[in-house]
Chains A and B, each alone.
Chain A
Amino acid sequence: MTTAVAFEKISRHFGTVKAVDAVDLDIREGEFFAMLGPSGSGKTTCLRLIAGFERPTAGRLSIFGERAEDVPPYRRNVNTVFQDYALFPHLNVTDNVAYGLMVKGVAKAERRRAADEALELVKLPGYGARRPGQLSGGQRQRVALARALVNRPKVLLLDEPLGALDLKLRENMQEELKALQKSLGITFVFVTHDQGEALSMADRIAVFDHGKVMQVGTPEEIYKTPNSRFVADFVGSSNVLPPDFVLRHAGEKRWASLRPEAVRLVEQGPGSIAATVISSAYLGGTTRLGLDVEGQRINAVLPAGEPFPAEGKPVHIGFARDDLHLMDEGG
């Protein structure tokens, strides 16, 4: 498989701030790649490096095999959907979408047709004459998407594009983006701080922290076998267990992660661990319990319908040894 974007030991330092620090990354052609991390972890800077808005202070960046560090953004066949859309306020929707074609000198009739097609693709036909100011957040998002896609980029960059949308709209857009990516076959690079979004949409995920890539893998790999405390902690609400605790209950002195849904309430017996309920939250489909186990906080997720104990009640918990994922110290 061809590599769409390759980072080789890329750094972007702003004075003493290491926004991106010696990152190695391979994004494959045609994949939906998510960059996941807390704010300030360097994921957006990585996206801006691909777009060409930032230049690396060190390292090699190639796009489809060609060196790109010294190529200005307007000569990269890469387009961006900006976080706050960055639509041109003085142009109507058609002119916004056709902007890329206009600056490339495509004839007016031709680019109108292409813009209409792109608007059709993002399910916004007939909106061409409106100004961005007359559109809702979700519609602006679609225009920004059409404006990028109309150029048929080799790589589409999306910078937290769903962040400003409400929950329902966000879920719709997630599905649509995924379907769009499949049908167009364009490489999507998606920046988000929402682990749920990354897990549900991406083919592969890179987890960022402090300017470094902590782990790259499929959503399942990242979720089930995090390689560090940070990844376990950040991706989902995994229980990160310290070596002492793991030694007592699993016989190995190493850090471990335990998914909350792997924790079960059991009758007192061999292997069961005494715990106290300290909080409970009803989440609709499930109930989340906060437990105090030997001074260690552990979250458990119970399926709905199962009776759950009141706060302050002593209970016993258990988990399968296989569900305990041992990790290196890391992060």
Chain B
Amino acid sequence: MSLAQASAILPERGGLRGSLSDTLWRKPTVLLVLLLTPPVLWLGIVYLGSLFALLLQSFFSIDEFSGLINREFTFKTYGELLRPSNIDIIVRTVSMAAMVTLAAAVVAFPIAYFAARYARGKWKALFYLGVMLPLWSSYLVKVYAWKLILAKEGILTWLFAKLHLTWLIDAWLSLPIVGGNSLSVSFTGTFIVFLYVWLPFMILPVQAALERVPQNLVEASSDLGATPAQTFRNVLFPLALPGIVAGSIFTFSLTLGDYIIPQIVGTSHLFIGQAVYAHQGTAGNIPLAAAFTVVPIVVMGFYLWGAKRMGAFDAL
């Protein structure tokens, strides 16, 4: 038999590929370096490097008369950032991001739970399609579609009128802060559109986390006398928390940085993204724009630190 005649050690494959394979097998570190260098260069220089260059700008200041940037180290721009009108923008944006994140977690959890626990085969494919499909169409198209839906002449008003619930919309719109002339020019509208646009970014990580919770842990909890609510609180929620935190990093930071949604659907009050856009564009105040950019980074830093302290990553 030809197999029996083969020697125990096969000859080298020969050629460049053969010797390359052998060399890389003997020196796995070389392979690792080869694989990692391009992404590290990209991330380190192009991405992080330019981010730091931008942040550096926040320690420069602008000469108010000439409009030129004064490249001397100063905290003057941060002083400007802490003016009441700017603080307003920051508080507004952070509250909006917090509420969008909270609502996204509440809405996403049942969907993710269904997908992780019950959906199989065709239903799972349908779930992924349903969650991802909105991400495939242009973000601007979706936001403008929402503007029409929420407009005074829009389908939502029409639907509420048909249900004889116009008074409900009117009552809501007459509330301070969240209200306005119509849903499409109120914070409520901004909130709804943010929630819709970022929801997939919450559903997917939560679903991945729940997928990793074995069914028998739920059974064990119930076996030990826990009601479904207790099982949720003591087993499901803690084990899904890393997923919820991962999702909230997306929803929170995406809301903090967005400048298009509040411009199309919402009031004339600015969000951080719009402020950055205005300062670095029309106003040409790059230092202040950079200082505004620092805010989401600091907020996210504190958010992650808090989440870690609360034990959100213990189950990882």
Interface residues of A (CB under 8 A from B): 51-53, 72-75, 78-80, 82, 84, 86-90, 99-100, 102-104, 147-148, 151
- In angstroms, how far is the closest chain A Cβ from the Cβ of B258? 34
- In angstroms, how far is the closest chain B Cβ from the Cβ of A51? 6
Task: Please name the residue on chain B nearest to A75 by beta carbon.
Answer: B225
Check A147/B224 contact, CB under 8 A, given A88-B235, A89-B239, A90-B239: yes
| 7 pairs from A and B in contact (CB 8 Å cutoff) | A52-B222, A82-B216, A87-B220, A88-B235, A90-B238, A103-B227, A147-B224
Interface residues of B (CB under 8 A from A): 214, 216-217, 219-227, 230, 234-235, 238-239, 314-315
* A90 contact set on B, CB distance < 8 A: 238-239, 314-315
Task: Please name the residue on chain B nearest to A89 by beta carbon.
Answer: B315
- B contact face: mostly helix, strand, loop, or mixed: helix
* B222 contact set on A, CB distance < 8 A: 52-53, 72-74
Task: Please name the residue on chain B nearest to A72 by beta carbon.
Answer: B222
Check A99/B221 contact, CB under 8 A, given A82-B216, A90-B315: yes
For the A-B complex, the count of residue pairs with Cβ-Cβ distances under 8 Å equals 64
* A53 contact set on B, CB distance < 8 A: 219, 222-223
Task: Please name the residue on chain A nearest to B213 by beta carbon.
Answer: A89
* A147 contact set on B, CB distance < 8 A: 224
Are B223 and A103 in touch, CB under 8 angstroms? no
Are A103 and B225 in touch, CB under 8 angstroms? yes
- In angstroms, how far is the closest chain A Cβ from the Cβ of B217? 6
- In angstroms, how far is the closest chain B Cβ from the Cβ of A88? 6
* A52 contact set on B, CB distance < 8 A: 222-223
Check A88/B225 contact, CB under 8 A, given A99-B234, A103-B230: no
Are B227 and A86 in touch, CB under 8 angstroms? no
- In angstroms, how far is the closest chain A Cβ from the Cβ of B128? 26
Q: Which of B224, B235, B315 has the most CB of A within 10 A?
A: B224
* B234 contact set on A, CB distance < 8 A: 99, 102-103
Task: Please name the residue on chain B nearest to A48 by beta carbon.
Answer: B219
- In angstroms, how far is the closest chain B Cβ from the Cβ of A140? 13
- In angstroms, how far is the closest chain B Cβ from the Cβ of A206? 22
Are A86 and B214 in touch, CB under 8 angstroms? yes
Check A88/B217 contact, CB under 8 A, given A99-B234, A103-B224: yes
Are B223 and A73 in touch, CB under 8 angstroms? yes
A73 and B218 alpha carbons, distance in the complex (Å): 11
Are B219 and A88 in touch, CB under 8 angstroms? no
Q: Which of A52, A100, A147, A151 has the most CB of B within 10 A?
A: A100
Task: Please name the residue on chain A nearest to B230 by beta carbon.
Answer: A103
Are A79 and B219 in touch, CB under 8 angstroms? no
Q: Which of B220, B222, B226 has the most CB of A within 10 A?
A: B220
Are B223 and A80 in touch, CB under 8 angstroms? yes
Are A84 and B216 in touch, CB under 8 angstroms? yes
A73 and B220 alpha carbons, distance in the complex (Å): 9
A82 and B217 alpha carbons, distance in the complex (Å): 10
Are B223 and A79 in touch, CB under 8 angstroms? yes
* B226 contact set on A, CB distance < 8 A: 74, 99, 103
- In angstroms, how far is the closest chain B Cβ from the Cβ of A176? 22
Task: Please name the residue on chain B nearest to A102 by beta carbon.
Answer: B234
Q: Apart from A79-B223, A84-B214, list 19 A-B contacts with CB within 8 A.
A: A51-B219, A52-B222, A53-B223, A75-B225, A80-B219, A80-B220, A86-B216, A86-B219, A86-B220, A87-B220, A88-B220, A88-B235, A99-B224, A103-B221, A103-B224, A103-B225, A103-B226, A103-B234, A148-B224
- In angstroms, how far is the closest chain A Cβ from the Cβ of B117? 14
Which 3 interchain pairs have the tightest Cβ spacing?
Answer: A100-B224, A86-B220, A103-B226
- In angstroms, how far is the closest chain B Cβ from the Cβ of A110? 15
* B239 contact set on A, CB distance < 8 A: 89-90
A78 and B220 alpha carbons, distance in the complex (Å): 11
* B219 contact set on A, CB distance < 8 A: 51, 53, 73, 80, 82, 86
A73 and B223 alpha carbons, distance in the complex (Å): 5
* A84 contact set on B, CB distance < 8 A: 214, 216
Are B220 and A82 in touch, CB under 8 angstroms? yes
Are A79 and B224 in touch, CB under 8 angstroms? yes
Are B230 and A86 in touch, CB under 8 angstroms? no
Task: Please name the residue on chain A nearest to B226 by beta carbon.
Answer: A103
Task: Please name the residue on chain B nearest to A80 by beta carbon.
Answer: B223
Check A74/B227 contact, CB under 8 A, given A89-B239, A99-B221: yes
* A99 contact set on B, CB distance < 8 A: 221, 224, 226, 234
- In angstroms, how far is the closest chain A Cβ from the Cβ of B71? 51
* A88 contact set on B, CB distance < 8 A: 217, 220-221, 235
Contact of B223 among A51, A89, A102 (CB under 8 A): A51
* A151 contact set on B, CB distance < 8 A: 224-225
* A73 contact set on B, CB distance < 8 A: 219, 222-223
A72 and B230 alpha carbons, distance in the complex (Å): 14
A144 and B223 alpha carbons, distance in the complex (Å): 12
* B217 contact set on A, CB distance < 8 A: 86, 88
Task: Please name the residue on chain A nearest to B235 by beta carbon.
Answer: A88
* B216 contact set on A, CB distance < 8 A: 82, 84, 86
* B220 contact set on A, CB distance < 8 A: 80, 82, 86-88
- In angstroms, how far is the closest chain A Cβ from the Cβ of B32? 27
A82 and B221 alpha carbons, distance in the complex (Å): 12
- In angstroms, how far is the closest chain A Cβ from the Cβ of B155? 43
Task: Please name the residue on chain B nearest to A83 by beta carbon.
Answer: B216
Task: Please name the residue on chain B nearest to A144 by beta carbon.
Answer: B220
A87 and B214 alpha carbons, distance in the complex (Å): 10
